[in-house]
Amino acid sequence: MSSGWSLSSPAIRLVRSGVTIAIAIALGVFAAPKPSFADDPKAREIMERVDARDDGDDQTSNIEMTLIDKRGHQRVRHLRSFRKDKGEDAYSIMFFLTPADVRDTGFLTYDYDDPSRDDDQWLYLPALKKTKRIASSNKSGSFMGSDFSYADMTDRPLEYYEYKLLQESEVGGHPVWVIEAIPVNDEEIKETGYTRTVHFIRKDNFFQIRAKIWVKKGRRNKYLEVKELEEIDGIWTATLMTMTTKKGNKTEHKTILRTSDVRFGQPLEFDAFSVRRLEAGP
């Protein structure tokens, strides 16, 4: 029962959800490095290698997102995602398949590498039969109610952080570098909502398999864990990962992200990343 004068409620919930499903954190993708900083050169070099790692192109995949609250109640979303690189920029389009009340809702994102440019995002609202452009500069909000934020889902520029190699360790039998990243300015903290991140980077493939994030609001921590990592067509891809929000030792919420049917090198053309395609549906 929604007003004719407003977006439907599910649509309102989705208005801010137009993000690339590239899952930058999981893929360990970061923007190209530019100037050098007075931080730990070895840590920065590692992060540059992370950034330079091949994350594939012309990708299609299916995504299942399970949201679990502290009472154990689960909500599940299914998405279909398409992604194509354009130089250093990334175009992506994704469609919600479930839940039924937001089915066919689609997002088109042009994720620019240049940190001075805001991403372009359009949202297709099937209830309104309308495509809306939406602003994307504030990335601290939750993505679709999950523990992932918009900042987690898009590239963050390396030059916005100072890095420090904390230690070398082992996670799941894999040697890792443990690198601390501190934002160099308040603007980045404001945009992401994060004051500090510790990255766990696998030494053998430069893939981030863990991250601990300090959230400014509410003094919470978020914990990213890659539970399953597969090499698909020569590209290391996270197929199962979790993001957990904790306050102290108490878990408040958890999101499980499963990626399946991942294919690289698909015949995706740039014209497919258009509003026309967005409105045509999955």
Partner 1 sequence: MPRVLRWTAALALALPLAANAQEDSLSDLLGGFEDDPSFDEALDGSDREGELDPETRASRPDPWLPDLPFTAWLSESVDLSGSLGVGAVYSYLDHKVSHGDEVGRSTSYGNLTRLDLDGFLQLDVSLPNEWKIRAEALGWYDFVYRIKGRGDYGGAVIDVYEWQVDTGEVYLTGPLSKNLDLTLGRKIVNWGRSDTFRVVDVINPLDNKEPGLVDIEDLRRPKAMIKLDATVRAWSAQFLIIPENRYDRQPPRGSDFFPDLTDLPGALLSPPVDGRSDFSGLPGLAAKVDGRFSGWDFSIYGAYVDESSRKLDFVGPSALPTGVRAEANRFGLLGAAGNFIRGAWLFKIEVAWLSDLQVFRYRRGQILPSSDDKDRIDSMIGVEYYGPDNLTIALEIVNRHLLNEPTGPATLQLTPQSRFETGLRISRPFFRERLNLTALAVGLGERFQNGGIVRFSVDYELDDAWNLETGILIFMGGPDQGLGSFESNDRVYAEIQYSF
Considering only residues 132 through 171, tell me which ones interact with partner 1, judged by CB under 8 A: 132-138, 140-142, 144-146, 166-167, 169
Which among 30-38, 51-59, 61-69, 230-238 is the span making contact with partner 1, rule CB under 8 A? 61-69
Binding string, residues 111-130; x marks residues near partner 1 by CB under 8 A: -x----xx-x-x----xxxx
User: Which tokens sit at 3?
Assistant: 């007003």
| Of the candidate residues 10, 28, 106, 183, the single one contacting partner 1 (CB under 8 A) | 10
Each residue of 242-270: b (16+ CB within 10 Å) or e?
bbbbbeeeeeebbbbbbbeebebeeebee
- Give the nearer residue to partner 1 in terms of CB position, either 234 or 250: 250
Which among 7-15, 36-44, 45-53, 156-164 is the span making contact with partner 1, rule CB under 8 A? 7-15
The CA distance from 105 to 127, in Å, is 9
Report whether the peptide linkage leading into residue 267 is cis, meaning its omega lies within 30 degrees of zero: no
Please give the residues from 69 up to 108 whose contact with partner 1 meets the rule CB under 8 A: 69, 72-76, 78, 80, 97-101, 103
Please report whether residue 195 would count as binding partner 1 according to CB under 8 A.
no
Binding string, residues 230-249; x marks residues near partner 1 by CB under 8 A: ----------x-x-x-x--x
The minimum distance between CB 81 and partner 1, in angstroms, equals 10
Give 136's contacts (C-beta < 8 A, 6+ positions apart).
Answer: 18, 19, 109, 118, 119, 120, 121, 150
SS3 content of the chain, % helix, strand, coil (to 5): 20, 45, 35
Is there a contact between 184 and 35 (Cβ–Cβ < 8 Å)? no
- Give the nearer residue to partner 1 in terms of CB position, either 112 or 236: 112
Provide the phi-psi class of 253: left if phi over 0, else alpha when psi is between -120 and 50, else beta. beta
By CB under 8 A, the count of residues binding partner 1 is 92
Cα Rg of the chain (Å, integer)? 18
Which among 24-32, 42-50, 56-64, 154-162 is the span making contact with partner 1, rule CB under 8 A? 56-64
Binding string, residues 27-46; x marks residues near partner 1 by CB under 8 A: --------------------
- Tell me the backbone φ, ψ of residue 144, rounded to 5 degrees: 55, 35
Place of tokens 């689960």: 74
The minimum distance between CB 36 and partner 1, in angstroms, equals 25
Please report whether residue 9 would count as binding partner 1 according to CB under 8 A.
yes
